[in-house]
């Protein structure tokens, strides 16, 4: 029994160290600041849900990035086993070191921006009309784009911008 416990500890300790150093890994950047705001609607595909309310916050300090968002959505069509008019809560948390942090100027929109491309953990609580709910968690990549003109976009897949959340920046000190 003692041998099994030792083996479990020997395997578990490197995994925990790797996870903690990845979560606290610093990204080399001179971008620093804080921004937060709301998500107001989905653009593009899918059209089977609408945002009832949503908020987000992004902080970049000393090469570390924190991102958190929560969205309450109403299902407009039956999808993923959810009945029409049921509600889902989606919670987004950035995990690990970002792939990129970029500060620049968008000539088309004539405004400055900060973009963070990273891996997110998404937890979805899907409420059913009978009072029951299901919970599902997955990881994905996403890119949050904060613009100096007051807009924010969260692309669920930066390589395919056919579906994203958009909203308003209520506060930012990046620019």
- Asked, for residue 3, whether it belongs to a domain, the answer is no
Q: Which of 21-35, 58-72, 78-92, 117-131 has the highest mean pLDDT?
A: 58-72
Percent of the chain past pLDDT 70, that is, above it, reads 80
Q: What is the spatial distance between Cα 67 and Cα 120, in angstroms, rounded to a whole number?
A: 9
Tokens linked to 167: 């909203």
Domain hosting 159: range is 28-172
CATH number of the domain that residue 131 is part of: 2.40.160
102 near 115, Cβ under 8 Å? yes
> Quick check: 14 pLDDT over 50?
no
- Asked, for residue 58, whether it belongs to a domain, the answer is yes
**Whose structure tokens read 């959810």?**
82
- Asked, for residue 14, whether it belongs to a domain, the answer is no
pLDDT digits (tens, 9 = 90+) for 26-38: 778 889 999 999 9
> Quick check: 77 pLDDT over 90?
no
Q: What's the domain count of the chain?
A: 1
Query: In the prediction, which pLDDT does 170 show?
Result: 96
- Asked, for residue 17, whether it belongs to a domain, the answer is no
Residues 6+ apart with CB under 8 A from 166: 39, 40, 41, 42, 43, 151, 152, 153, 154
């Amino acid at each position: 029994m003692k041998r099994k416990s030792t083996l479990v500890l020997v395997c578990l300790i490197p995994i925990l160290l790797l996870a903690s150093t990845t979560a606290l890994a610093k990204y080399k950047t001179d971008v620093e600041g804080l921004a937060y705001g709301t998500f107001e609607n989905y653009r593009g595909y899918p059209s089977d849900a609408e945002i009832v309310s949503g908020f987000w916050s992004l902080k970049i300090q000393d090469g570390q990035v924190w991102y958190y968002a929560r969205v309450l959505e109403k299902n407009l069509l039956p999808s993923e086993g959810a009945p029409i008019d049921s509600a889902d809560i989606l919670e987004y948390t950035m995990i690990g070191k970002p792939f990129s942090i970029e500060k620049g100027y968008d000539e088309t929109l004539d405004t400055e921006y900060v973009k963070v491309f990273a891996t997110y953990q998404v937890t979805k609580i899907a409420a059913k009309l009978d009072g029951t709910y299901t919970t599902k968690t997955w990881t994905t990549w996403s890119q949050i784009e904060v613009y100096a003109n007051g807009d924010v976009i969260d692309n669920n897949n930066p390589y395919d911008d056919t579906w994203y959340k958009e909203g308003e920046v209520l506060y930012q000190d990046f620019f």
